[in-house]
């Protein structure tokens, strides 16, 4: 395994603002690359296939697993999410810093495979704020929203196992904290 590059794992409950945060991070650090996951979830209106995710069928996802093209995967809600392996191998051998947006089980799998990866958990200012943000986003129905809030609570319990925990209270401050982490590791 070539480890000239490194993996930075970002986890945090649904609605915590990971996308907005990472978007600003990429603007400030254009040398970073980000892994595009495969998922069986339906595409949201504002999402672009190949940029936000590769939106694929369950059958194609299973084929990817069988052919060894998925580095890690997990079921989240009723959908599968996984990291395509080839781009990660290529970027690592090119010495790149790779950003992965990943839930807690996937982060653990990656940490086991890549010991020098750095894990960061993003926390909301409060549970109430998280629920408000998720409702305002309006992309999930009530059942899914309830499930995501339950998952959020159990994910937050796992945050102590991460290398770093940051609060997404103020966007600029949170991104500056991430840059500090990148500079330190
Ligand atoms: P969402 O449906 O909100 O886009 O994502 C749901 C969860 O799946 C989020 O916590 C997100 O970070 C996680 N996720 C996205 N891609 C992957 C992946 O490739 N692997 C794993 N394990 N989790 C992922």
Query: Tell me: the pLDDT tens digits for 114-128?
Result: 999 999 999 999 999
CATH superfamily of 6-184: P-loop containing nucleotide triphosphate hydrolases (3.40.50.300)
Atom of ligand 1 nearest to the CA of 52: 4
**Ligand 1 pocket check for 69: Cβ under 6 Å:** no
Query: Residue 1: what pLDDT?
Result: 47
**In the chain, what's the furthest Cα-to-Cα distance?**
44
Query: Residue 140: what pLDDT?
Result: 83
Q: Taking the model in full, what pTM does it have?
A: 0.92
Where are the chain's structural domains? 6-184
Q: How far apart are CA 120 and CA 35, in angstroms?
A: 16
Q: For residue range 39-96, what is the model confidence (pLDDT) as tens digits? A: 999 999 999 999 999 999 999 999 999 999 999 999 998 999 999 999 999 999 999 9
Ligand 1 pocket test, candidate residues 106, 137, 138, 153, most atoms within 8 A of CB: 106
What spatial distance separates the first Cα and last Cα of the chain, rounded to whole Å?
A: 19
pLDDT higher than 70, residue 2:
no
73 three-state secondary structure: strand
Region 123-142 average pLDDT: 89
Residue 8 host element (H or E): strand 6-11
Query: Residue 124: what pLDDT?
Result: 94
Q: How far apart are CA 121 and CA 152, in angstroms?
A: 12
Q: Whose C-alpha lies nearest to ligand 1, atom 4?
A: 14
Query: Quick one: pLDDT band at residue 21, thresholds 50, 70, 90?
Result: very high
The string of DSSP codes covering 110-131 is HHHH-TT-EEEEEE-S-HHHHH
Strand partners, 61: none
């Amino acid at each position: 395994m070539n480890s000239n590059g490194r993996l930075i794992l970002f986890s945090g409950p649904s609605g915590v603002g990971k996308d907005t945060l990472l978007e600003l991070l990429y603007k400030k650090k254009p040398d970073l690359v980000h892994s595009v996951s495969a998922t069986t979830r339906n595409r949201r209106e504002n999402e672009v296939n190949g940029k936000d995710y590769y939106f694929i069928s369950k059958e194609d996802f299973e084929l990817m697993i069988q052919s060894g093209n998925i580095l890690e995967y997990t079921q989240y809600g009723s959908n599968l999410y996984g990291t395509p392996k080839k781009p990660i191998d290529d970027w690592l051998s090119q010495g790149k810093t790779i950003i992965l947006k990943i839930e807690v089980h996937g982060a653990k799998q990656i940490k086991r495979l890549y010991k020098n990866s750095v894990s960061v958990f993003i926390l909301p200012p409060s549970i109430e704020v998280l629920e408000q943000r998720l409702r305002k986003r309006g992309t999930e129905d009530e059942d899914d929203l309830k499930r995501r809030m339950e998952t959020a609570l159990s994910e937050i319990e796992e945050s102590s196992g991460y290398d770093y925990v940051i609060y997404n209270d103020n966007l600029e401050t949170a991104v500056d904290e991430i840059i500090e982490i990148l500079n330190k590791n």
